[in-house]
Amino acid sequence: MSEPETYEPKIVAFLCKWCSSAGSDLAGVSRIQYPANATPITVPCSGSISPLYILSAFNKGADGVLLSGCHIGDCHYIEGNYLARRKIYLIKELLEFVGVEPDRFRMSWVSAAEGAKYAQVVKDFVADLKPLGPQDKLKADRT
Amino acid sequence: MINVRDIRDAARDLLAKGEVRAVIGYRRGSRGMAAEPVVITAPEQADELVWDPTCFHNLALYLVEDRKFLAHSRKAPGAPIAIIAKGCDARAIVVLMQEHYFKREEVYIIGVSCEGVGVLDERKLAGHVPGTPTDAAFEGDDFVFTTPEGEKRLPAREVMADRCLECRAPFPKEHNVVFGEDKTGRELAAPFAALARFEEQGATERWDFWRRQFERCIRCFACRSVCPMCYCDECVVDSITFPVAPETTADEKANRIRWIERSAVRSENITYHMTRAMHLAGRCIDCGECERVCPVNIPLRLLNNKMEREARERFGYEPGASIGAASLVASFNDSDPGSFIR
């Protein structure tokens, strides 16, 4: 168990290649300071994120999972984020249903021009995750 | 009231005329009164068929099995296959056709309406009937059990499966021929009642409940085996077809993606069951078979009902309603909820 003040939540961030991944790059090249807790994983589209990615991330020890894609109407594949919205709504409901804290899971729309927004999303997420402590509900015990 | 002779006559007739190559139905089993699934291929076998409160199995599963068997034996299907289908079974068949698992003309649906009742929940029977019943029969709104001590009549509502009490569509809408009255819209119990009760609890209580349930799962995969929707050749939890070539290194074998481990521990069990619930979202037609076959009585219907209710309330989606409809997760509306997204 880590002490509350030294505890740093691990975030797995699934970012779409066309918007959010570029948005996180912009945050970097603009030298915006934000917590380094998020491990970005670039996916082709937010619609390509399988609910299994999310469950598996929690299973492998993530304290929080962030999904991010293009704003509605801006999807590179026209409708990928519409499909994501529906799918992710269902998995979000299911996670809350079994009792996983709603704050462990977050979705945002971040465009390639919104580096500042991406930094803010991560900042807020880390701030919300810290009081929750480590995630041990879905995490596999591999000791 | 359905006369079982009508079902037998229909099956005999279809087989005699060669309109179908087989009929999937129920016959008297070897375990007390319970019926068991049977595939008959000759007209004279039609007399084996039964229709009673123990016909709980969702026979759509055997359409999937038949399909897989044909695929492996590389035979042309020839004549269609007939199936006896209750309201829920028929919805399952519709979902399979919606997913292009087979075509409408390849299946001959002999619909049977559950009318005002449904099937028995054997777990509710304890204490109601003396001894071991040898036979069960429909009789209006009652079930009549034959026991060593004589006949015992019980109101069906007392021993019916929960899913049947909550069922609003006991009539198979999709059918070639149908027996029994259309009682669509009947409501013996409020739908999703157990779910609503469960959701009144806080997150901590909900987690406590599921934690205890999933610690008991033994990963026998009975829920998966009995489900007509779990037809994938390789399940994501198995990962058995990892291609191993002579040049595959030990590292590659050790580090291949294993989404979920097969070990029966809580974290893996809950990941498995949540994955299954997601894969069944918009497809599960609430036949309740997974819950019935669970050897440790995990209330799996709660998970599936949750997804079903969200689909209905948020997306106006009814699983198994139409063959031509787009599936739940392959379609969208502009009005889909999005306020949870930042």
In a domain, B303, yes or no: yes
C-alpha span between A90 and A92 (Å, rounded): 5
> At A92, which CATH number?
3.40.50
Helix, strand or coil for residue B143? Answer: strand
The reply to whether B124 and B33 lie within a common domain is: yes
In a domain, A40, yes or no: yes
In a domain, A133, yes or no: no
DSSP A72-117: TT--TTSSHHHHHHHHHHHHHHHHHHTT--GGGEEEEE--TT-HHH
C-alpha span between A46 and A70 (Å, rounded): 8
Q: For A99, which of B210, B329, B331 is closest by C-beta distance?
A: B210
What is the pLDDT, as a whole number, of residue B302?
A: 94
The band of B187, judged by pLDDT with boundaries at 50, 70 and 90, is: confident
- Domains in chain A: how many in total? 1
What is the H or E stretch that residue B337 is in? none
What is the H or E stretch that residue B203 is in? helix B203-216
In a domain, A5, yes or no: no
The band of A2, judged by pLDDT with boundaries at 50, 70 and 90, is: low
In a domain, A101, yes or no: yes
Top-confidence residue, B111 or B122: B111
In a domain, A87, yes or no: yes
Neighbours of A94 (CB within 10 A): 23
Roughly how many angstroms between the first and final C-alpha of chain A, as a whole number?
14
Disruptive mutation site among A46, A49, A79, A89 for chain B (greatest number of B CBs within 10 Å): A89
The reply to whether B157 and B209 lie within a common domain is: no
The reply to whether B143 and B258 lie within a common domain is: no
Question: How do residues A94-121 score in pLDDT, each as one tens digit?
Answer: 999 999 999 999 999 999 999 999 999 9
Could you list the residue range(s) of the whole structural domain that residue A69 is in?
A: 11-128
Q: For B315, which of A86, A97, A138 is closest by C-beta distance?
A: A86
The reply to whether B94 and B140 lie within a common domain is: yes
Nearest-CA distance A106 → chain B (Å)? 7
Flag whether pLDDT at B181 surpasses 80: yes
In a domain, B308, yes or no: yes
In a domain, A3, yes or no: no
pTM to 2 decimals?
Answer: 0.91
Of B116-130, B145-159, B247-261, B289-303, the least confident:
B247-261
What is the pLDDT, as a whole number, of residue B32?
A: 84
Nearest-CA distance A7 → chain B (Å)? 22
Assess contact for A103 and A128: CB atoms under 8 A.
yes
Mean pLDDT of B217-228: 94
In a domain, B338, yes or no: no
The band of B236, judged by pLDDT with boundaries at 50, 70 and 90, is: confident
Tell me the β-bridge partners of A43: A16
Assess contact for A97 and A66: CB atoms under 8 A.
no
Question: How do residues B57-91 score in pLDDT, each as one tens digit?
Answer: 999 999 999 999 998 998 887 899 999 999 999 99
Flag whether pLDDT at B161 surpasses 80: yes
Flag whether pLDDT at B256 surpasses 80: no
The reply to whether B19 and B167 lie within a common domain is: yes
Flag whether pLDDT at B11 surpasses 80: yes
- The CA angle A99-A105-A108, to the nearest 5 degrees, is 150
Cβ contacts from A onto B, under 8 A: 111
Q: If you measure CA to CA, which chain A residue comes closest to B205? A: A99
Flag whether pLDDT at A50 surpasses 90: yes
Contact check, Cβ <8 Å, A52/B336: no
The reply to whether B185 and B217 lie within a common domain is: no
The band of B54, judged by pLDDT with boundaries at 50, 70 and 90, is: very high
- Domains in chain B: how many in total? 2
Disruptive mutation site among B332, B333, B334, B339 for chain A (greatest number of A CBs within 10 Å): B332
Both tokens assigned to B31: 């375990």
Q: What does the mean pLDDT of chain B come to?
A: 91
In a domain, B330, yes or no: no
Residue written as token pair 């009673």: B52
Dihedral of the CA atoms B220, B236, B282, A83 (nearest 10)? 160
What is the pLDDT, as a whole number, of residue B248?
A: 86
The reply to whether B168 and B204 lie within a common domain is: no
C-alpha span between A68 and A88 (Å, rounded): 11
Of A6-15, A133-142, B198-207, B323-332, the least confident:
A133-142
Mean pLDDT of B303-321: 94
Ramachandran angles phi, psi of A129, nearest 5°: -80, -30
Handedness of CA B120, B121, B127, B133 (dihedral sign): positive
Top-confidence residue, B72 or B239: B72
Could you list the residue range(s) of the whole structural domain that residue B211 is in?
A: 192-317
Establish how many alpha carbons lie within 13 A of residue A109's alpha carbon, considering only the half-sphere containing its beta carbon.
15
What is the H or E stretch that residue B155 is in? strand B150-155
